[in-house]
Amino acid sequence: MATKHQVIFYPVGNGDTTQIILDNGKRVLFDFRHKQCAEEESTPEIDLKAALKKDLADAGKESFDVVAFTHADNDHIEGSTDFFWLEHAKVYHGDGRIKIDQLWVPAAMLLEEATQEQQSEEFVLLRQEARHRLLEGKGILVFSQPEALMEWLEPKLEARGEALTARDHLFVDAGTVVPGFTLQEDNVEFFCHSPFVEHCDDGDIIRNSAALVFNVRLQADGRTYDYMEVGDADYCDLERIVDITKYHGNEDRLAWDLFNIPHHCSYKALGAEKGEKDTVPCEKVAELLMMGKKDSYIVACCKPVPDIKESYEQVQPPHIQARRTYASYLEKVGGRSFLVTMEEPNANKPKPIVFEVAAAGVTWTKAASSFGSAAIVASRPARAGA
């Protein structure tokens, strides 16, 4: 039977939740944002908890194979500590909570400081969960191994009578392929672009800069396609990624058929100035955008971005100037569509944006506007990936 994967983007407002469903049934969830108001029928955001629980139940699963939090900002973790089973405390067990077989987090999530008043906040609970799993030595991968984290971990390992290197296999460095998935066994591999050690060892931690960034290479019947999964990186972070990736001869890992653009269509992921009509991207970000392949797609996980006067004056993302720039580069590389999660099929009641990845290419399963069956926006004839 032909291989087919899915990449699903959920309409959660200015926030991120994306799921990869592999042909073999494994599920990888990137970020989680459930707004309480989404449980009301009158709001456009999806009831993410209900949608994911139904999806898992329909598949006969009780857990995600991987849940990856790109960073600890609220719009990437909101509602997660009420939804997931957390190993570190029994109060977060049971009651229909969904289990996480393996948690992926940037090192920064284990190092973040919190005031006494912040102890009940979600980023602190996830920090505790990540620390617990790392100490127990199972159910986690930590991306980057900064000295600051080892200074915290090594005395605890020593107290447990374990070698100081006993958890080294749970750390993943930038510029390497994540263990646990292979093209041979799973038809996928995850190449870690970021974070770098310097993101945690050079002073104050900036969540966006220290976030997870991946090239996800999906294989279908001998052909490969690339998905760029980016947190909220700004243009300086992307410049560094492009430079280092090229320096190490991994330029093919910058190519993309599908690109989840950073920071909810903010101009700050492109360049220093928003611009009047368009944002001018810095040189390295422009290089990255030009790595888009023919028939590629760009997805913005954000609120609607209408091309009206008020949008040009908007301070917070999404920014119409950024949208115009992304759309222009997509046209330059022969791409297909720029999509916004809160606009498809309409802004009143958006639905998840679903892509199928098969030998014939990446195709967008387009939901009907208000009734009728879904349509497939097909890619052009099959071609080899990078």
Residue 53: CA count within 13 A, CB half-sphere = 15
What is residue 307's three-state secondary structure? coil
* Residues 290-349 pLDDT 10s: 999 999 999 999 999 999 999 999 999 999 999 999 999 999 999 999 999 999 999 999
pLDDT for position 381: 43
Instruction: Kindly calculate the radius of gyration of the chain based on its CA atoms and give it in whole angstroms.
Output: 20
Kindly give the confidence (pLDDT) of every residue in the chain, 386 residues in length, as a single tens digit, with 9 standing for 90 and above.
Answer: 899 999 999 999 999 999 999 999 999 999 999 999 899 988 999 999 999 999 999 999 999 999 999 999 999 999 999 999 999 999 999 889 999 999 999 999 999 888 878 888 999 999 999 999 999 999 999 999 999 999 999 999 999 999 999 999 999 999 999 999 999 999 999 999 999 877 776 666 788 888 999 999 999 999 999 999 998 999 999 999 999 999 999 999 999 999 999 999 999 999 999 999 999 999 999 999 999 999 999 999 999 999 999 999 999 999 999 999 999 999 999 999 999 999 999 999 999 999 999 999 999 997 654 434 455 554 444 444 44
Position 69 in a domain: yes
Position 365 in a domain: yes
Nearest to 260 by CA among 297, 220, 292: 297
Position 385 in a domain: no
pLDDT for position 203: 63
| Gap between the Cα atoms of 8 and 351, Å rounded | 10
* Side chain identity, residue 294: K
pLDDT for position 1: 84
Nearest to 218 by CA among 361, 61, 333, 19: 361
Residues spanned by the domain of 188? 4-377
| Gap between the Cα atoms of 350 and 364, Å rounded | 15
Q: What is the mean pLDDT of the chain?
A: 93
Position 328 in a domain: yes
What is residue 48's three-state secondary structure? helix
Position 384 in a domain: no
Q: How many domains does the chain have?
A: 1
| Phi and psi torsions of 236, nearest 5° | -65, -40
CATH code for the domain in which residue 255 is found: 3.60.15.10
* Residues 222-254 pLDDT 10s: 999 999 999 899 999 999 999 999 999 999 999
CB atoms within 10 A of CB 254: 22
Predicted model pTM: 0.94
For residue 115, what are the contacts with CB-CB under 8 A and spacing of at least 6? none
Position 386 in a domain: no
Position 382 in a domain: no
| Gap between the Cα atoms of 8 and 354, Å rounded | 5
